Chain A
Amino acid sequence: MGVPTAPPARERTGQVALSAHGITKYFDGKAANDSVDFSARCGEVHALLGENGAGKTTLISVLCGQYRPDSGEIQVDGEVRRFSSPRDALRAGIGVVHQDLRQVDRFTVAENVVLGTAQRVDRRAEERVEEIAGELGFHLEPRAVVARLTVGERQQLEIVKLLFRGMSTLILDEPTAVLAPQQSEQLFGALRRLADSGKAIVFITHRLREVTSAADVVTVLRHGRVVAHRPVDGAQPEELARLMIGDEAGPRIKAEPAPTGEPVLELRAVACGTGRRSLHGVDLTVREHEIVGVAGVSGNGQVELAEVAAGMLEPDSGDRRAAGETVAFIPEDRLATGLVGSMTIAENLSFRRFRRAPMSSRFWLRYRRLRDHAHDLIERFRIPVTNDNAHVASLSGGGLQRVIVAREMTEAPELLVAAQPTRGLDVVSAQAVRRQLLDARNGGAGVLLVTEDLDELLELSDRIVVMLAGKIVAELPRGSATRAELGRHMTGAHGDEA
C-alpha cells in the first residue's frame, strides 16, 4: 500500500478545494467569526491576514473540525461536510500545522510521520519521507530523533507528515512566528512548490511583508468579519494595513536618542543550564535611559537571559548586579509565570502591592483597596473585564498581557525586563505598550527588551544584541542595524544554518 489518498493532479489547479460559507461562531456572546466566507483553491497560496483577535484562529479551528460553527457550512470539493472532530477534517484531506507542534520527542522523524496511520515504519516509509522532504527542499533525516530538531525542522516535519497522509489542503497557523527571516523564506519557497503541484495552501499571518511576498490571494479579517478578499497582485501594503487595522492606528513611534546614565544591570560571564536552552558566558550591561533589544530565533537563550536579568533564575556561574530595588518583569509565558489562573483579575493585579500598606496591614488584607487599585488599572490599561469575580484565565492572550503590563509598569521600576511584551496585542494596545516602554526609558529606567518582532526591535532599541546558542554573537548600535543583518547574525554568521 502506498500513500492513502492520491495527490491531487495539477489539472485541478483553480478549482475550489475548501470553502466556508457564512461561518458564525460565538464565544461568550461575542462573535469571533461573523458570517465569514472563505475559499481556498488548488494551486493557490492564500494568506489569511488579520490582527490578533481578528478571528483567524477561530476560522481555521472551524475549518479543521476543532470547533463546530454556530451557523454556516463547509464544503470540500463542492460537497457539504460537517466535521465533528479534526479527524473528520483529516479524512477529508484538510491538514493543519498548528503553532504548538504536537510531536513525540523521543520518536524519529519517520516514526512521527507514520504514527497514527495504518502503516509501518519500514524502509519504504523512510524513503517516502525522504522523498517528500527532498521535493520541498527540506533536509530532514528520517531517522533523526525529533528532540534534536530545531523548531524550523519540526515545522517541516509537520508539513511532511500531512503530505504523507495525502492532504490536499494545508493550513498553517502563523508559521513564521518562530522562524528567522531566512528560514521563513525557505518555508515560503516550499509552500510555493506545493501550490504548484496542485495543493491548496492557506497560511495565517499578521505580517504584511509575508502577504505581499508569498501569497497569491489574501483574505483580511477584522473583528471577526471578512473586510477584503482580493488577489495580492497590485495590492498596496498601506491599503492592506488599513484594512487589517482600520483607521485606529496612531502614528508610528520614534524613539529620540537620549544620553544614557549609570548601569542598572550588569551581567558578567553569566552561564547557566546545558543544552539548547542555556547561557554561555554572557556579558551585558543595561544603563539608565536606554532600551537594549535582544534579537534571536526562538529558543537560543533569550528566555533564560530575561529570567537571569530579572533575577528569576540564578546563574550557575558569573555575576549579576542590579543597581535598583525595583525590577519589573514581563515574562514571555504570561499564564505560566506571571499570573495565577485560578485567581481573579483584581487579585492578579495586586500581586506587586498586596504585601505593603495601604493594601494590607501587618496581618489583614484590605480587599477594598485591592479592588480600588484593580479598577484603576483596568480603566487605565483598558483590560477587558466581564465581571469583578472573573478569573484571570478567562481572558484572551491580549487581555492577559494587559494585566501583566499594567501591574508591572505601575511600579516605576529602575530595571524593566520585557519578554515579548506586545505578543498577542492588537495594534492599538501594542503601540500603547511600546509607548510605555519608551516612557519608562525616558523616565530613567533601563529596559531589556526581548522580542521576536524585528520591526519593534529596530523601532525601540538604543542598542540591539543578537543571541545564538546561548551567547551574544553581535551587538549593533542604534541606526546601523537592518533586518537582513540581524537575520544573518540570528542564524549563525552568514546564513549557512538557515
Chain B
Amino acid sequence: MASRFEKRTDVGLATRIAVPILAVVGGLAAGALILVLGSHNVGDAYSAMWDASFGTSRGFEQTLTRATPLLLTGLAVTAALRMNVWNIGAEGQMAMAAVGATFVALHAESMAKLPLLLLMFAAGAAAAAGWALIAAIPRAWVGLNEIITTLFLNYIALLQLSALINGPWKDPTVVGFAYSKPLPPQAALPFIGTTSVTVGIYIALGVALLLGWMLNRTRLGFSLTITGGNTRAAEYLRLGVGRRIIFVFALSGAIAGMAGVIQLTASSGRLQEGLTGNYGYTGILVAFLARRRVGPTVVVALLFAGLLNGGNALQATGIPSSIAQIVQAIIIIFVLAGESLSGYRLRRTSSAPTATAGPLRPAEEAS
C-alpha cells in the first residue's frame, strides 16, 4: 500500500476548529517527551504553564496584557495581507510610534491626561504610518520588494530609538541603562477596574472591530479585497493599485504604531530598548494562523499571548530557558503544520502491479 496527499477544498468548520486543538494537544505531548528526556516533571511544568496563561486571574490578566500589542500587530499584518502585501516592519513601526509619542509627551508635559494621550496616539500612529510609507511608495511606484524594505527599516528604526535614549532624551539620573527621561504621569494608560490590565485591550479590540468593518462592509474594503485578490483584475477595473498599496501600508503602519504607543504608555513609562518585544514579528505568525481574517486574529492573538506567558512560566519552575523555548517552539510548529496540512487529505492507494517496462525505467516525468 502506498499513500499520497491530495489537496482538498472542502475543509469544513468542524475540521477548522478540531485541527488546531489536536495540534496543540500533539505539541504538548511532544513537548512532554522533551521534558521527560530532561528529567523534568511534566505535570508540574504544564500546570505552571496553564496557571500563568489562562488558569488563574493573575495569569489571565498578563495574557490580556500581552495579547494587546500582539493583536494590533496581527491586525496590521492582516490589513496589509488583504492587499497581498507583506508588512514585516511592524516592529520598526512600533518603535517609531513610541518615538513620536515620547516626543509629544516630553514637550507637552502640562497637558491634561485625555488630550495628552489622544495626542500621543495620533503622533505615534502618524509617525508609524510615515515610516511604513518609506517602504510603500517605492513598492507602489517601481515594485521594490516590500518584504526586504520593511524588514531593513526595522533595524534603522530600532537603532534610531536607541540613539535617542542614549543621546538627547537620555535620563542623566539613570546610570548603566539607556532610558529616556520619565514621561509625565498623565501619559500612563488607565487600568481597567482593579486589574493590572490597561484600557489598551479595549483600544485593540476597537481597532479590530473598525478594521473588520472597513474591510468587509465598505466600498473601500471591497476594492482592497479585489486588488489583493488579483492585481490584474484591479487594473482591468481601473482601480488604482499603487494608490491602494500606499493607503493600506499607511493603515497597517498606523495600527502597528498603536501597539508601540500602548507599550510605551501601559508598561514602561519611559522610552527604552526592548519596548517592541518582538511583537512585530510574532504578529506575522498571528496573521498567518488567522488566515488574514480579522475575527480569527483576535482569538489567535489571545491564545498566542497565553502560550508566550506559559513559556515564561516554565522557566520560573527551574526548567532551563532553552528547554522552555523548545517546548514553546514545538507547540507552534505543530499548530503551523496542522494549519498547512488540514488543506490536504491523505489517500491510501494500492500501487499498480509491477510495471514491465523493460530494462530501463523510462520517463519519470509527469508529462
Contact = CB atoms under 8 A, between A and B. Distances in A.
Nearest to A333: B232
Contact of A4 (B9, B226, B358): B358
Nearest to B350: A82
A340 B365 contact: no
A283 B357 CA distance: 57
A394 B232 CA distance: 19
A92 to B, nearest CB: 6
Nearest to B366: A86
A118 B9 CA distance: 37
Given A5-B358, A91-B355, A91-B363, A360 B219 contact: yes
Given A81-B352, A340-B226, A340-B230, A90 B236 contact: no
Nearest to A90: B363
Nearest to A367: B217
Interface residues of B, number: 36
A352 B237 CA distance: 7
B147 interface: no
A351 B237 contact: yes
A87 B365 CA distance: 7
A68 interface: yes
A386 to B, nearest CB: 12
Contacts of A329: 236
Contacts of A223: none
B361 interface: yes
A161 interface: yes
Given A116-B365, A351-B226, A364 B217 contact: yes
Interface in B230-252: 230, 232-233, 235-237
Nearest to B235: A312
A336 B237 contact: no
Given A5-B358, A342-B229, A87 B217 contact: no
A281 interface: no
B353 interface: yes
Interface residues of A, number: 57
B179 to A, nearest CB: 44
A190 interface: no
Contacts of B360: 1, 4, 117-119
B350 to A, nearest CB: 6
Given A88-B355, A166-B362, A355-B223, A339 B349 contact: no
A312 B218 CA distance: 26
Nearest to B225: A343
Contacts of A85: 4, 366
Contacts of A362: 219
Contacts of A102: 367
A363 B360 CA distance: 67
B155 interface: no
A329 B352 CA distance: 48
B352 A84 contact: yes
Nearest to B10: A28
Interface in B4-43: 4, 9
Contacts of A165: 362-363
B259 to A, nearest CB: 27
Contacts of A446: none
Contacts of B353: 79-82
Interface string A325-366: 000010100001111111100010001101100001111110
Determine chain A's interface SS by DSSP, over half rule.
loop
Among A95, A162, A165, the one with the most B-chain Cβ atoms within 10 Å of its Cβ is A165
B232 A337 contact: yes
A395 interface: no
A102 B2 CA distance: 27
A83 interface: yes
Interface string A355-386: 10000111111010000000000000000000
A88 B223 CA distance: 46
B218 A365 contact: yes
B85 to A, nearest CB: 15
Contacts of B223: 354-355
Contacts of A87: 363-364, 366
Contact of A86 (B229, B350, B355, B367): B367
Contacts of B2: 84
Contacts of B236: 312, 329, 331, 337-338
B177 interface: no
Given A84-B352, A166-B362, A339 B217 contact: no
B351 interface: yes
B176 interface: no
Among A119, A362, A365, the one with the most B-chain Cβ atoms within 10 Å of its Cβ is A365
Interface in A301-339: 312, 329, 331, 336-339
A117 B230 contact: no
Given A84-B351, A86-B367, A394-B9, A336 B362 contact: no
B359 interface: yes
A84 B349 contact: yes
Interface string B337-355: 0000000000001111101
A115 interface: yes
A84 B355 contact: no
A92 B237 CA distance: 49
A331 to B, nearest CB: 7
Given A312-B236, A336-B232, A364-B219, A91 B4 contact: no
6 contacts: A1-B359, A117-B362, A165-B363, A337-B230, A340-B233, A351-B237
Given A91-B357, A117-B364, 18 more contacts: A4-B361, A4-B363, A84-B351, A87-B363, A88-B355, A91-B355, A91-B363, A93-B357, A95-B367, A116-B364, A119-B360, A166-B362, A336-B232, A337-B230, A337-B236, A339-B230, A340-B226, A354-B223
Give the top 9 A-B pairs by smallest Cβ distance, nearest first: A116-B365, A340-B229, A4-B362, A91-B355, A90-B363, A360-B219, A84-B349, A86-B366, A340-B230
